[in-house]
């Protein structure tokens, strides 16, 4: 064979390999075919052995043709295998994976139920023209008790089981009422604010948590009467619980208000008939309120002869438990179990 014949035979082998490939259906078959063409016993190798016998100046062309055919065969084998694999994986997917299923949506966070209720309550007061203010959770005895007319050693202090940091000096605020004093001492009159925030008491049972949320309300101006207090709180309760819910003002006592009243609403669960939620009374207490005691106004250098005001403090957790019927323990709000929190996604 001369070099021209070798070159054209090599080209034929390349074409023949491509034709043979068509009947091969597995990677193993393809690799075997490739070995038959390129391996030690294959024709390409036999042709390569003839390289020594051809004139030196023609070796280059033949060598090039040898490399080309080897390249063509390898590339054709690899691409045939790729096509087989792709077909196999598509077939596998079609058999094992339901491509019509909807995708997995990443979970998105949501507001805590207490935040939802707190924002709703604050929004109602903001719509009535109240500003939103805040105060520190670590308070002094003065703001939490003294300035609010709790005399030293007065039993009223026992009403609020206090976490002291330094006995008689600093403590975790037991209510948001200290913000009343801070606001009256820092803002000019008239004052119309709400102060949402966390408070702490040594109390721990299904309806009491050592940490809970309150919203304080304070309005001071000339000519403010108990009728204003009733009007604002009734409007608030009707907005949050509905027009037809019954409420009552029940005489009570707080050292910093006179007169004082607690507000109860008709039990949402039993509509006033009496159940476990309302301890069979038919009523549920949701806030404390009253006309600001003149002594408290004087403590903040406000003339009680000229100005009057009212204040209220409402329990956000209690309202949230009523709003989301079926929450029987306040603890659920503070355990942060995602299965519970996920129920309040809006």
Q: How far is the CB of 314 from ligand PHE (least distance, A)?
A: 8
Torsion of Cα atoms, 278 then 279 then 280 then 281, to 10°: -60
For residue 215, list its beta bridge partners: 196, 314
Pick the closer one to ligand PHE by CB: 74 or 258. Answer: 258
Pick the closer one to ligand PHE by CB: 6 or 171. Answer: 171
**Encoding tokens for residue 269?**
């669960």
The CA R_g of the chain, rounded to the nearest whole Å, is 42
Pick the closer one to ligand PHE by CB: 310 or 333. Answer: 310
Pick the closer one to ligand PHE by CB: 17 or 310. Answer: 310
For residue 112, give the nearest of 326, 320, 325 by alpha carbon. Answer: 320
Q: How far is the CB of 346 from ligand PHE (least distance, A)?
A: 29
Pick the closer one to ligand PHE by CB: 113 or 290. Answer: 290
Q: How many residues does the chain have?
A: 346
Pick the closer one to ligand PHE by CB: 3 or 257. Answer: 257
Cβ pair 310, 294 in contact under 8 A: no
Q: How far is the CB of 120 from ligand PHE (least distance, A)?
A: 20
Q: How far is the CB of 139 from ligand PHE (least distance, A)?
A: 12
Q: How far is the CB of 236 from ligand PHE (least distance, A)?
A: 14
Q: How far is the CB of 98 from ligand PHE (least distance, A)?
A: 57
Pick the closer one to ligand PHE by CB: 183 or 260. Answer: 260
Q: What residue number has its CB nearest to ligand PHE?
A: 313
Looking only at the bridges linking them, the beta strands covering 211-222 and 257-266 are unpaired
Q: How far is the CB of 326 from ligand PHE (least distance, A)?
A: 26
d(CA 290, CA 148): 13
**Encoding tokens for residue 228?**
């204003």
Pick the closer one to ligand PHE by CB: 140 or 257. Answer: 257
**Encoding tokens for residue 325?**
């019927």
d(CA 239, CA 235): 6
d(CA 112, CA 105): 21
Summarize as ranges the residues that interact with ligand PHE (CB under 6 A).
Answer: 175, 177, 254, 257, 260, 288-290, 311-313
Pick the closer one to ligand PHE by CB: 47 or 287. Answer: 287
Q: How far is the CB of 177 from ligand PHE (least distance, A)?
A: 4
Q: How far is the CB of 258 from ligand PHE (least distance, A)?
A: 10
Cβ pair 330, 207 in contact under 8 A: yes
DSSP 207-256: TB-SEEEEEEEEEEEET--HHHHHHHHHHHHHHHH-TT--EEEEEEEETT
The structure tokens 């058999």 sit at: 95
- Sheet holding 164-166: strands in order across? 138-140, 170-172, 164-166
d(CA 171, CA 242): 38
Q: Long-range contacts made by residues 324-328, C-beta under 8 angstroms, separation at least 24?
A: 324/113, 325/268, 325/269, 328/206
């Amino acid at each position: 064979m001369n070099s021209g014949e070798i070159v054209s035979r090599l080209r034929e082998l390349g074409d023949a390999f491509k034709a043979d490939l068509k009947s091969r259906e597995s990677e193993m078959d393809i690799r075997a075919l490739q070995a038959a063409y390129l391996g030690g016993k294959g024709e390409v190798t036999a042709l390569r052995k003839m390289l020594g016998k051809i004139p030196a100046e023609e070796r280059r062309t033949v060598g090039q043709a040898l490399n080309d055919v080897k390249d063509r065969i390898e590339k054709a084998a690899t691409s045939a295998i790729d096509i087989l694999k792709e077909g196999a994986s598509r077939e596998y997917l079609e058999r094992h994976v339901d491509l019509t299923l909807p995708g997995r949506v990443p979970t998105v966070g949501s507001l805590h139920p207490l935040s939802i209720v707190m924002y709703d309550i604050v929004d109602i007061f903001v719509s009535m023209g109240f500003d939103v203010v805040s105060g520190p959770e670590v308070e002094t005895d003065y703001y939490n008790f003294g300035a609010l007319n709790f005399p030293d050693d007065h039993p009223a202090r026992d009403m609020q089981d206090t976490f002291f940091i330094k006995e008689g000096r600093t403590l975790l605020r037991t209510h948001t009422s200290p913000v009343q004093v801070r606001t009256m001492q820092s803002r000019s009159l008239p004052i119309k604010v709400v102060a949402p925030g966390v408070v702490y008491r040594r109390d721990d049972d299904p309806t009491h948590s050592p940490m809970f949320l309150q919203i304080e309300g304070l309005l001071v101006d000339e000519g403010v009467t108990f009728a204003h207090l009733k009007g604002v709180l009734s409007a608030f309760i009707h907005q949050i619980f509905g027009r037809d819910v019954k409420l009552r003002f029940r005489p009570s006592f707080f050292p910093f208000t006179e007169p004082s009243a607690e507000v109860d609403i008709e039990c949402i669960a039993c509509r006033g008939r009496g159940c476990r939620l309302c301890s069979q009374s038919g009523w549920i207490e949701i806030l404390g309120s009253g006309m600001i005691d003149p002594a408290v106004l004087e403590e903040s250098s406000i003339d009680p002869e000229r100005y009057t005001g009212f204040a209220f403090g409402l329990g956000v957790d209690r309202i949230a438990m009523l709003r989301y019927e079926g929450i029987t323990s306040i603890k659920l709000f503070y355990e942060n179990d995602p299965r519970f929190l996920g129920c309040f996604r809006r």
